[in-house]
Structure 1
Amino acid sequence: MLTKRALGLLLRPRSVAVVGASPRRRMARTVLANLRRFGYRGTVWAVHPSGQPVEGYPCYRSIGELPAVPDCAVIALSPENTLFAFRELVELGVRAAVILGSGFGEAGPDGQRIQAELVSLAEEHGVAVCGPNCLGLIVPDEGVTLTGYHLPEDLASGAVAGVVQSGSVFWSLAHNTRGIRFRYLVSSGNEAVLDAAEYLAAALEDPAVKLLVAFLETVRDGPRLLEVVEVAHRRGVPVVVLKVGRSEAGRAAVLAHTGALAGSHEVVAGVLNQYGVIRVDTLDELYDVAEFLLAGRLPATNRVGAVTDSGGEKTLILDWGERVGIAFPPLDIQTAERLRGVLAPYVPISNPLDAWGAGNFEEVYPVALQALADDPAVDTVVLGTDMVRETEEAQLYAQALLKLSRYTAKPIAVVTNQANGLDNTAVSMLRSAGVPVLQGTEYGYRAIARAAWYRQWRERPRPQPQRPSGLDELRAALSRVLRSSPVLGEYEAKRLLALIGLRHPQEWLVHTLGEALAAAEELGYPVVLKAVGPHLLHKTERGAVRLGIGGPRELERAWLEMSERIAEFQPGGVTGFLVQEQVPPGLEVILGCHDDPTFGMVVSVGLGGVLVELLRDVVYRRAPITAEEAEEMLSELRGAALLAGYRGKAPRDRAALVDALVRFSWFAQAGEGLIEVAEVNPLIVREDGAGAWVVDGLIVARHHG
C-alpha cells in the first residue's frame, strides 16, 4: 500500500540514485547535471555498467553495489531494462522512483505489459512512482530537479504547485518568463501509480503552496480529484485546471438524447464549475489567471474601471469585456468631477477612460487611476496600455501603478492589448512588486472575470443536498424492474420517477381500440395517443405520437393510422398504446442522467425537447444537487431567458423546474450502479405556478460483465 512517507520520499528525497547514467546518455546525465547546478544537498549516486563518474558523482556498476538504499531512484533506460532495474530497486527497499522515457502503456501491447508489471510491483511494495513516459519533477527549494531536460538558470521556488500530463507543458511552465514560480512541478506522464490528484493532495499539505494548477488530458479518478479540490477550498487555495480533449464519451448514445450529448469536455466543465474549479482554455490564459490570483487581491464582482491611452483600444476593451463577462459601470458623479479637474475639456469622461488627452500622461494617469479606485461602482482597476518597450511612457505607467498599489487595497492590474513588444524593465518592476501584468486583451480580462467568479463561488452559501425520503424504496424498485427489463420505456419510467415526486399526466395503458375509447372518455378530451413497445424509444421520429385528439372519431382514425404506420417499419413492435390527458403547451426541457466514467452519476438539464441535440444547450453537474446548484445550472443555459418569458410569453414555473431537477438528481443517485442512462424528454414547464410535467421518459440499465 502506498504511504504518505513514500510520496514524501519522491518529492523531497534525501538521497537519489540515477540508473542508466553515463557520460554518453543525455537524459540521465542531465538529471545529474541539474542536481549539481541547482544545489541539491542530498547524496547522489550514478548507476551504469561502465562505472565511470558522471558530473562529478560516483558511479556504481550495478544496483546491488550501491552503498545504501536511496530514498528515490531515477530510471532512464529502455522499457525492458526499466522493468529489470525497477524489480532490483524494489527488492533493495527503494520506495520512490521517477521513470523517464517512453514506450510503456502508451506504446502498444508490449509497453502495456511492462507497465502493468511495474504497477504490480509498486502496489505490492508500496512504491511511489512518477510516470512512466514523463519528464520527471522539480522541487526547487531543495534543489530536487529529477528531470532529464534542461532547466532555466533563474529556477526558483514559489507558491504554485503544478501537475501536468504533458512533457512539453512541464518544460514550458518551468521556463516561463511571467514570474510564476513553482513550489512543486510534476510531469505525471502515464500516471500508472500516482495520478494528478495524489500530487495535488501532497502539495496541499505544504503551507507555502497558495495556488494549484493542472494541465489534464484525462481525469483518472474524478471523485478523488474533487475531494482534493474541497480540501483546497478549506485552505483558501484556488485550483486552476486546463482540461484538453473534447471527444465524445459515446456511452449509450444510440438510445438516449442525453447519451449522445454527454461529451467528456462538457461533463468535466460542468462538474468543475460545480466544485469551484477555475477552468481555463489555453496556456496563455493559465498564465494570466495564475498571475492575477497570486497577487492576492480577488475582485468582489466583475465590475472593472479601466484607464487606457487609445480610442481604438478602448473599443477593443469594450468588445472583449462583453464577450468574457466583464462590466464597465458608469462612473460616479464625484469621480467624474475629479477627472474633469485633470483632463483636457475635450476628453469625454467614460469607463473605459481614454485619458491620453493633450499628452500630459505623467500628471493625468496617476490621478485618473486613483479616482477610479475610489469609485464605489468599481471593484478592479485596470490600466489598459501596451507598455511599449523602450519608451518613457512605459516607465511612467509603471510608476503610476506602483503608486496605485500603495494607495488602494482593491485588485489592480495592467492589461496589455498585445502579448509582445513589452518593456521588460517596466514589466519586471511591476511584477516584482506584486502588480500583475496580464498579456492580451482577451486573456487579461478573462482572468479578472474568472477570479471574480471564483470569489463569488467561494463566498456563496453552499448547503449540503438534503436526502429525500423514500430513496431506498426507489432503489429497490429500480433494481427489481431493471433485472427483468434492461430498457424501460415511457410507461414504466414514469411510474418509477413518480416515486421521487415527479408528476406526470394521467394515462391508461390499453391494447384495443375499445379500451382506448373508454380511457379517453374517462380522462376527457383532448387526449394524447402514443404507441409503446421495446424499440419505440424516440416516438416522435417514428410517428408514434398524436397530440390534441378532440373526440372519439379522431381517436379512432389516429389509432388506425398509427398502427398501420408502425407496422410498416416495425412489425409486431407495438405492445400497447397510452391514452393520456393533454398537458397544455409550455417550455420543453430535457432532464438527463448518465453513469459517467469519470465522476459517476451526472445529471443534466437542457432546452429544446426533441431539438436538444440540434441546440446542444445542456449543462451538467454531479448528482445529487441542491436547489442552489439547480438554479446555477439554469442560469448557465444559453436560452435561460426563455424561463423568464420571451416575446410576450408568460414566465415559466422556474421553482417547479428547480424542484424537478433536484428530485431527478436524487433519482440518478438512487440508480447509481443500476442505471446507464435515463432521461425525461420532454418535461413541460408551464406558466408560473402551474408546475412541470413529465410527458415522456426512458431508463436504460447499466450493463455488467
Structure 2
Amino acid sequence: MNMAISALLRPRRLAIVGASPKEDSFGANLLQSIRYLGFAGEVVLVNPRYDRIGDMVCHGSLSEVPGEVDCAAFAVGDAHLASSLTAAAKAGLRGAVLFGRAHGDEGARSRIDVIRDIASNSGMAVCGANCMGFVNLVDGLQLTGMPFKSLPAPSGVALISHSGSTWSGLVGNRRQMGFDYAISAGLELATGAADYIRFLVEATDVRVIACVLETIRDPAGFLVAAQLAAAKGVPIIVLKLGRSEAAKHFAISHSGALSGSNAAYDAFFERHGIVQVRSLDELLDTAELLALRRVMPVSGIALGTDSGGERQLIVDLAADLALPFTELAPATMDAVGAHLDAGMEVSNPLDYWGDGADVMAPVLGAMAKDPGVGIVVMATNLPPDRRFSEMSAAAIRRVHAETDKPVAVMGNIATTLSPDIAAELRGRGIAVLMGTASGLAALGHLRRWRFGQPAADQPPPQRLSPAVHAILDGAGGDMLRSAEGFRLLVEAGIPSAPFAEIRAPEDIAAFAAQHGWPVVLKIDDAAIAHKSDQGGVFLGLRNQQEATVAWQALSARHPQAPVIVQAMASGVELILGMTTDPDFGPLITLGLGGVFTEIFRDTTAVLPPVSAAEARRALERLKAFPLLTGARGRPPADLDALCTLISRFSAFAVGVAGRVAEIEINPVLAGPEGAVAVDCLALRRKEASHEQ
C-alpha cells in the first residue's frame, strides 16, 4: 500500500482528468493549485473536448497519454467517477483523487461500492471521495480545487482530516505551521487514516501526525499504525468529532448507557498513547510543541510571566487540567530571587515583573538550569508595536540560546500576539502557543507523551471453564438471573458477598446462622434489571422477624419472582461493567456506583485486560476517588483488593466476550476489609460461540 500511497501523494507524473480552460472552473483551479507552489513534476491534461489548454496538450483519455502516469485528479461529475476510475485502473495508475461525493448508483449497485471495488481490484490508493484533496509541501505540490496562493515551509507536522472545511482552515493557518503532508481523507473509500499514518511513519520524516476524525473505519489497522508510530517516536494527535452523539445504546446496564459513543475511543486512545485534544486551537498548539526538535529531558515545567493576574489565571486553569509545575531547587530559587525586587515571591509559576527592571532573561535562564526543569515557558501577550514586546522577545531568544532544553512562549490572548514576533521566534525553534487554555493543555500533552506511565504487564484473558459454559447454556433466557451471574463471578475468582436462593422464610434463618445478621433480600427476576427501582430489595434485615416481613412484601409485589438472600456488606459503592463495542470489542466501565450512578455519571472506561496498576490509574481519574482514600474521616478502602478485583474482572470480560454481550457488577462495595460484588447483571450473546 505504501507504494500506491507514494504514487498518490508524491507523484512524478500527474494527470488532471476533466481539465478545463474556463476560468474558475474546478479543472482550471486544480491546474492553478499545482502551479502555485511550483511543483517540479510533470502535469498532463485529459479532456476529450479540447486539444490544447493554454500552452499544454490536452489528451482525449488516459489511454492516449504516452508513458506512465502515477496519479490522476478527477474534476468530473459523480456520474462519470466510476468510468473514469476504471479507465485510470486500465492505464495502470496507482493513485487517484476523487473530489465528488460519489452519490448515486451504477446499475443495481451503489456508486460508492463500485468505486471501492475498482480501487481494491487494481491496488489503487484513493483520496476521497468527497474530499478537498491534499498538500505535499515536501515536493511543492498542492492539489485542491480551492487553492492557497502560498503556504509556509514544512514544519515536521502532517495532517489527516475527515472534515474538508476543517482541513482548509488548518492548512491556511497563520502560525507558520506548514504541513509536510495535509490530507483531506473524505469518505476513505479505499485508503483510510490507518493507511496514511503507516505511510507517514514508514516513508517520510514527519515528527508529528495530527488527525481530525469523525470515526475510525479500520480499528485493527489503526492500532497497527499507532503501534508503528509509537515505536518510531512519532506522536499521533487526534481531535475526535461527534463526541456527544450517543451513537450506540446498550440494552440493560448502567455502564452501557454511560459508555456512550465515545467511551471506547477515549479508552483506545488512552491505552495506545494517542494524544486526544478537545479543540482545533489545542490541536495546533499541541502539534507545534510536540514537533520541536529539542527533546524535553525531564518532566518538570517552569513558567514565568509579567502579570500577577495572569499568573492566577494560569494557576487556576492548570489546576483544572491537573497540570503540575515543578518545585524549583533551592539553588534555583536563590538565583531567581537575586534578580527580583524586594518583597517579590520566588515561585513556579513566577511573576517576575516588579518596578520595571528587565530581569526576564536572568530569571528564566536560571529556571532553565534547574535539573528538574524540562521546558521553560514565558507567558506574555506580545502585542505589536510595543517596546515591551520586543524586550520580551529578546529575553526569550537569549534564554533559548543559552539552553538546550525546549523553550516556549504562551500568549494569554491569541489575538494580541504580534504575527511578526511570533514568526521570528518560531523561525528559531521557539514554540509560540496561542492561548492560556490551549497552551497549558499542550504542555500537559507534551509531558504525558514524554513521561507517561510505562505500560504495565496485562493479565492474560481468562480461558473459560466448562462450568462457565454450563452456566451460560443452562440460563433460562438471554438475560441471566443474579444467582447465575454470581456463579459466573465465582468462576472468575471475583469476590462476592455470600448468597443463597430461598423458597421460604425458614431458608433465611439457615443462611443467617452460617453468615450472620444483617442480611439482604432481593428478587431475582431476569426481566427486572434494576430491582431497587421496583421495590425489589430490602436491606439491613437484622433478625428473622424483619426478614419474614420483607419476604411477605416481596411475595406480594412480585409473586412469581425467585428471591435470594445475601450477606450485608459495606463500603464505597462502585460500578464495574463490560459492554461490547462494535469496533473495539470488550469495554470496561468503572465509576461511582449504586443508585447515584446515572445522576453523577462519574465514570471512566478502559480497554481490557488491565493490570492492577492500570486499574488504580483509572480509579484516580474519578472525582469520587477521594472516597476510597479516607476523605472526610472515612476509613480508606483496601485499594489493592479493589484493583485486583477490577483486573481479574477485565481478564474474565475478555475471555467471556464471545459468549456474553454485557456484564455488570453494581455495586462493588470497596471497604477497609476488601472489595466484593453484591449484584450482577449479565446478557448472553444471541449467537453464542463455544470457541475460545
TM-score normalised per structure 1: 0.92
The number of aligned residues is 687
1:629 aligns with 2:614: yes
Q: Aligned partners of 1:478 and 1:275: how far apart in 2?
A: 35
Matched with 1:536 is: 528
Between the aligned partners of 2:297 and 2:528, the Cα distance in structure 1 is 52
1:92 matches 2:91: yes
Alignment map for 1:136-151 (pairs within 5 Å): 136-151=133-148
- Match of residue 508, structure 1, among 494, 500, 512: 500
Query: Counterpart of 2:563 in structure 1: which amino acid?
Result: F
- Residues 464-483 of structure 1 show CA distances to partners (whole Å, capped at 9, x for unaligned) of 3232664465774576457x
Pairwise CA distance, 1:703: 4.1
1:566 to 558, 579, 583: 558
Whole-angstrom CA distance in 2 between matches of 1:20 and 1:609: 63
Residues 468, 45 of structure 1: alpha-carbon distance in 2 compared, 3 angstrom cutoff: closer
Q: Whole-Å Cα distance in 1 between the matches of residues 607 and 56 of structure 2? A: 52
Question: Is residue 14 of structure 1 aligned with residue 12 of structure 2?
Answer: yes
Per-residue Cα deviation, 1:627-651 (whole angstroms, up to 9, x for no partner): 2221211111111111111111111
Alpha-carbon shift at residue 193 of structure 1 (Å):
1.4
- Of residues 680, 683, 690, the one that matches 1:700 is 683
Structure 2 counterpart of 1:526, from 518, 522, 532: 518
TM-score using structure 2 length: 0.93
| RMSD between superposed Cα atoms in Å | 2.5
Give the share of equivalent positions with the same residue, in percent: 33
Structure 1 residue 155: deviation in Å? 4.2
- Report the equivalent of 1:257: 254
The 3 A distance-change label for structure 1 pair 245 and 322 is same
1:647–1:89 distance in 2 versus 1, CA, 3 Å: same
How do 1:227-626 and structure 2 match up within 5 A?
227-249=224-246, 251=248, 253-299=250-296, 303-329=300-326, 331-361=328-358, 364-457=359-452, 460-467=453-460, 470-471=463-464, 473=466, 476-477=469-470, 480-481=473-474, 485-567=477-559, 572=560, 574=561, 576-583=562-569, 585-626=570-611
Deviation sequence 1:307-359 (CA, Å, 0-9, x none): 22222222222222222233345654433433443333254433333332222
Contact 1:155–1:174 under 8 Å retained in 2: no
CA contact (8 A) 2:509 2:544 kept: yes
2:180 to 170, 180, 183: 183
Q: 1:169, 1:274 → 2: CA distance?
A: 27
Asked whether the equivalents of residues 400 and 407 of structure 2 are also in contact (C-alpha less than 8 Å), the reply is yes
> C-alpha separation between the residues in 2 aligned to 1:498 and 1:561?
30
Q: What is the DSSP-based 3-state SS (H/G/I as helix, E as strand, rest coil) of the residue aligned with 2:364? A: helix
- Measured in 2, the distance between the counterparts of 1:347 and 1:512 equals 77
Structure-1 residue corresponding to 2:118? 121
- Equivalent of residue 154 in structure 2, options 153, 157, 161: 157
Structure 2: runs of 5 or more not aligned: none
Q: Give the aligned residue type for 2:622.
A: L
Q: For 1:295, what is the secondary structure of its paired residue?
A: coil
Q: Helix, strand or coil for the counterpart of 1:647?
A: helix
1:387, 1:394 within 8 Å by CA — same for their partners in 2?
yes
Q: Which of 686, 689, 692 is the aligned partner of 2:671?
A: 686
Tell me, in whole angstroms, the C-alpha distance in 2 between the residues paired with 1:85 and 1:109.
Answer: 13
With 325-334 and 208-217 compared, the bigger mean Cα shift is at 325-334
Going from structure 1 to structure 2, the CA distance change for 1:391 and 1:662 (only over 3 Å counts) comes to: same
CA distance in structure 2 between the aligned counterparts of 1:445 and 1:109, rounded to whole angstroms: 51
Q: 1:492 to 1:383 in 2, by over 3 A?
A: same
Compared CA separation, residues 275 and 257, structure 1 to 2 (3 A): same
Matches of 2:107 and 2:387, distance apart in 1: 62
Q: How far apart are residue 243 of structure 1 and its match?
A: 0.7
Distance 1:357 1:553, change over 3 A: closer
Amino acid at match of 2:84: A
C-alpha separation in 2, matches of 1:559 and 1:83: 70
- CA change 1:479–1:553 in 2 (3 A) is closer
Q: In structure 2, give the amino acid aligned to 1:342.
A: H
- Checking the alignment, whether the CA contact within 8 Å between 1:271 and 1:620 is kept in structure 2 is no
Specify the code of the residue in structure 1 equivalent to 2:460. Answer: R
Aligned 8 A contact 1:302 1:325 in 2: no
Conserved? CA contact 1:601–1:622, under 8 Å: yes
Q: Which runs of 5+ in 1 are unaligned?
A: none
1: distance between equivalents of 2:160 and 2:287? 14
C-alpha displacement of 1:166: 0.7
Please give the per-residue CA displacement for 1:444-490, whole angstroms capped at 9, x wherever unaligned: 12211111111122xx43243232664465774576457x6311121
**CA distance in 2: counterparts of 1:702 and 1:131, whole angstroms:** 36
CA contact (8 A) 2:167 2:184 kept: yes
Structure 2 counterpart of 1:16, one-letter code = L
- Specify whether residues 148 and 654 from structure 1 end up closer, same or farther in structure 2 by C-alpha distance, changes over 3 A only: same
Name the aligned partner's letter for residue 691 of structure 1. Answer: G
State the shift of 1:73 in Å. Answer: 1.5
Aligned mates of 1:686, 1:316 — CA distance in 2:
39
* Other structure's SS at 1:319 match: helix
Give the Cα–Cα distance (whole angstroms) in 2 for the partners of residues 275 and 468 of structure 1. 18
1:75 CA displacement: 1.2
Give the secondary structure class of the aligned counterpart of 2:52: coil
d(CA) in 2 for partners of 1:291 and 1:109? Answer: 45
CA contact (8 A) 1:212 1:239 kept: yes
- Call closer, same or farther: CA 1:299–1:53 in 2, change over 3 Å: same
Contact 1:17 1:45 in 2 (8 A): yes
Cα displacement (A) at 1:173: 2.1
CA-CA distance at 1:26 after TM superposition: 2.2
Structure 2 partner of 1:43: 42
Distance 1:448 1:112 in 2: 50
2:379 touches 2:412 (CA, 8 Å); kept in 1?
Answer: yes
Q: In the TM superposition, what whole-angstrom CA distance separates every residue of 1:359-380 from its partner, at most 9, and x where no partner exists?
A: 222xx11111112223345443
Q: Which residue identity does 2:640 align to in structure 1?
A: A
1:39 and 1:15 mapped to 2: Cα distance? 14
- Find the aligned partners of 2:472 and 2:518 in 1 and give their Cα distance: 36
